[in-house]
Structure 1
Amino acid sequence: MRLLLLTSVRTVALRGATWRELNLESAIWAIPGERMKMGHPHIVPLSAQAIEVLKN
């Protein structure tokens, strides 16, 4: 739930997330277009708090 609030993505995008989409070193979550409503890839910047949630 906290990651949802920190990223403001749709719940379906968060539930379908894979570790391959996440780059913790660059603090980027790259959601492929196939999973997005409009079919375009979506880049989500990850805050330090979001990265901390993902690491735990």
Structure 2
Amino acid sequence: MMAGWDVAKNGPADVVHAALDGIEAGKMEILAGDADVRLKATLSADPSMLYPQAVPAA
């Protein structure tokens, strides 16, 4: 899926390791890398932090 993208990627072994560690720890959600953690934090942030130029609707 990402073969054509020239970006840093998690290695398959790292993803499996994170998944197995999370399963073993009983986690409900498993994020496989730092980029995933940052993305989740960004998605749950206040939209005004993502789009400071946006003006709230009146």
TM norm structure 2 = 0.22
TM norm structure 1 = 0.23
Relative contact order, CA 8 A, sep 6+: which one is greater?
1
Higher strand share: 1
Structure possessing the higher radius of gyration over alpha carbons: 2
